[in-house]
Amino acid sequence: MVRTRFAPSPTGFLHLGNARTAIFSYLFARHHGGKFILRVEDTDRERSRLEYEEEILKDLRWLGIEWDEFYRQSDRFEIYRSYVEKLLQEGHAYPCFCTQEELQREREEAQKRGVAYRYSGRCRALSPQEARKMMEGGKSYTVRFKVPDGRNVVFEDLVKGYISINVDDFGDFVIVRSDGSPTYNFVVVIDDALMEISHVVRGEDHIPNTPKQILIYEALGFEVPKFAHLPVILGEDRSKLSKRHGGVSVKAYREEGYVSEALFNYLCLLGWSAPDDPDREIFSKEELIELFELKDVNSSPAVFNRDKLRWMSGVYIREVLPLEEVASRVLPFLKDAGYDVGDTEYLKRVLEHTRDSFDTFSEAVDRLRPFFVDEFEIPQELMGLLEDMRSLEVLNLFLEKLKESKPSSVEEVKRLARTIQKELKVKPKEVWHTLRIALTGALEGVGIDILIALLPQESIEFRIKRVLDRVS
RNA sequence: GCCCCCAUCGUCUAGCCCGGCCUAGGACGCCGGCCUUUCACGCCGGAAACGCGGGUUCGAAUCCCGCUGGGGGUGCCA
């Protein structure tokens, strides 16, 4: 049984790198008909916040990632304690009374001498009696894991291949802090073992932790899972994607109105392509579940490209999502902008003609404004343009014809425009530009024929009369 | 510094494992054209890459070594 997990720490918003890790982990589990587990790693009491946990869950749901089991490490401290006890008793761990200041000094010294720092193992030499005495004396201590000398830990990584690390590179490491809380490298092993995680899928920044964890698995007699370390996602400057790059949280894209399926799809393409059809880029979640394999993930880091994500969001809006779906997703954005949207039939008719002109829902807000908002300013230079054209005649005649014919299709609107053109002997452009400025207050935007065909008659009349008043 | 990972167009990638089919394919972006009442959309076309140096071989983007470059780690963070 394949069981994978995603284990975020609630110290910030879910960012794109972690989101992709979650997606790959999820896809791998689903592909193999296995379970996907969500585990909140909040052992660092200082930095963990419940509100971040809530945001992360919200983002995962938005992305369409559903989990089968949920755990929170802060609920499991009792379990961890019993395993610390075991390691202590069996001589795999020992209490360490060194203060942070002492350690800091040692670290600086090592740096000065230009050698790699590792903990000296000083407290390893303490006899049980001495240790007990110091504890009873109220001296605070951490618990360290005893790292065996000279071992070369080798493991097969599902995306990187064989990785070999000599444990002499690091000293005895802390598994329980002086405040009694367990550390990541320890609890991750206990949880992955107890939750029977078969495949640990995570970012490659965890590679150096892996040998430490394998040592603990062995000390506790647990079966070692398979590991898959995904290459990190880089910002435009090729450093690891982080807050300072801006726009790296899933939340930001959700709020900007990107299509969630597009973000899911795009993130999959960062380091993965379909083996049988590598040129294909648009995949539904179901198709990805069908096709995804860790062996097809490539091992080099990828730079995140916002332009391509934007493009893909647009593809989903104009080609993938049903019209109904586009309507219901854009609706909250229009309402937030204060538009009086009216009935959804109108919105759907509008979108039918305009969905191919925006890539995100926040862009739709600007693009669709003329369909919903009568009040707008016409810039001075455009008023000037109107005066240069025979706009008075055009608008007056248009208003007159509009009342007679009440055009409600693009074809009828075009016919009407042609009539005006002929009667007034003006160029087509002059008619369209005049109407565009009067009806939208801009020189570019949605098709004006569509706008006239769909916009309520009162709105058209209102806007045109207003211009007429100003020009004359 | 030390340890680990990585290396094809600006970016994401296919090809690499199992050398010849590669005159290195696709996508985003960019440039040009077409469509057109504008901006988009769409369609057509274009510029754009095997990091460098050595091997191995009849033949290397593909295999080996070195260099360089990039990334990650080096915590009582995860």
Residuewise pLDDT in 10s, chain A (472 residues) = 999 999 999 999 999 999 999 999 999 999 999 999 999 999 888 889 999 999 999 999 999 999 999 999 999 999 999 999 999 999 999 999 998 888 888 888 877 777 778 888 888 888 888 888 998 888 899 999 999 988 899 999 999 999 999 998 888 999 999 999 999 999 999 999 999 999 999 999 999 999 999 999 999 999 999 999 999 999 888 888 777 777 789 999 999 999 999 999 999 999 999 999 999 999 999 999 999 999 999 999 999 999 999 999 999 999 999 999 999 999 999 999 999 998 899 999 999 999 999 999 999 999 999 999 999 999 989 988 888 778 888 999 999 999 888 888 999 999 999 999 999 898 899 999 999 999 999 999 999 999 999 999 999 999 999 998 887 6
Residue from A139, A243, A406, A429 carrying the catalytic annotation? A243
Per the structure, the residues numbered 57 to 96 in protein chain A that have their CB within 7 angstroms of any atom of strand B are none
Record the pTM.
0.94
Per the structure, the residues numbered 176 to 195 in protein chain A that have their CB within 7 angstroms of any atom of strand B are 177-179, 183-185
Q: Is the CB of A444 less than 7 A from some atom of nucleic acid strand B?
A: yes
Instruction: State, as a whole number of angstroms, the distance between the CA of A303 and the C1' of B5.
Output: 16
| Distance between first and last Cα of chain A | 79
Residue A139 known to be catalytic: no
Instruction: State, as a whole number of angstroms, the distance between the CA of A300 and the C1' of B72.
Output: 12
Q: Which strand ranges, in their side-by-side order, compose the sheet holding A161-166? A: A161-166, A152-157, A226-230, A199-203
Closest of A312, A330, A328, A308 to residue A320, by C-alpha: A312
User: Rounded to the nearest 5 degrees, what angle is found at the Cα of A446, between the Cα atoms of A445 and A449?
Assistant: 130
Cβ–Cβ under 8 Å, residues A283 and A263 = no
Q: Quickly list DSSP for A109-156.
A: HHHHHT-------GGGG--HHHHHHHHHTT---EEEE-PPTT-EEEEE
What contacts A125, CB < 8 A, 6 or more positions away? none
Tell me phi and psi for residue A278, to 5 degrees.
Answer: -65, -15
Domains and CATH numbers, chain A: 243-315 (1.10.1160.10), 321-372 (1.10.8.70), 380-471 (1.10.10.350)
What is the distance, to the nearest Å, from the Cα of residue A21 to the centroid of all Cα atoms in its chain?
10
Q: Is the CB of A206 less than 7 A from some atom of nucleic acid strand B?
A: yes
